[in-house]
Amino acid sequence: MCVPLNRHTEELQTTELCRLSILCVCINIKALWSRGLKRKTMVQLSNSVYLLGGLFGLFLLSPVLMAPTPASMCTPLKTLNDSLSHRRRYMKHNFPINYTIRVHREEVFKVSSINRMRLQEDGLDELILQRLWFQVNQGVLKKIIRVMPERHPSRPYTAELESRFRDAEGVFVQSHPAEVFQQELPESVQDTWDNLTEEPDRVPESSWRYVSPKSLLDNFCQTMHCLFSECFAGTEAPQDYCDVSYWRKGRKKDLHPES
């Protein structure tokens, strides 16, 4: 996995905390009941019941929020990865030298961006980063397709890549309860999300970046491995795809000979 090694311990601690909290509330209700149900006691009992309900909901939802990548996600992501293995041929050789397209600075989404967000938000949920990954690369693919004429030799490849991306996104949404996508985002992530969804004519010039299509798909591929590492675990020793140095040593050529 590309997340800290103590993630499993954190999940167990959170689950145990929920259980202990629920037990304390139950003991409190029992004590109130034994004293007789006077009006004041009834109010206290009612508050305890509400608290118990909230804790029980958290207890049920916390395993979902902290669960690893669902197995159903791996098939579409591996299919997407197969397409990305040809990105050098279609995103470099079929474009002029030093060709770049204009994207929002938030769409230059790298492994280092993920690591920085994890440092800024202690205990940042992996699922939130995965949601952000889909939002970012949805815009990236649209911008790449937009600059291609209908007869551009790379257009069919990019259209197929976008189709496979949408398939993966559909499985991602179906793999989690609706409540997960309604949870409030941390402030820094919400700011990034708002910037990504802002109307282009309202984005200041200083917020745009000029990046080659190949570099954008390199980021796409590397961050996918980082955030969905369970789907790309091989038979060799586990690799930390969230380690920036992993991608600087030519390892990406080992993963994708054509990239």
Show pLDDT as tens, one digit a residue, over the chain (259 residues). Answer: 333 333 333 444 444 444 444 444 444 444 544 555 444 444 454 454 444 444 444 444 444 344 457 788 999 999 999 999 999 999 999 999 999 999 999 999 999 999 999 998 888 999 999 999 999 999 999 999 999 999 999 999 999 999 999 999 999 999 999 998 888 999 889 999 999 988 888 899 999 999 999 999 999 999 999 999 999 887 566 778 999 888 886 554 445 444 4
Alpha-helical (H) ranges within 67-110 are 71-84, 87-91
- Model confidence, pTM: 0.71
Nearest to 167 by CA among 147, 141, 144: 141
- The span from the CA of 128 to the CA of 52, in Å, is 26
Would you state the pLDDT for residue 238? 72
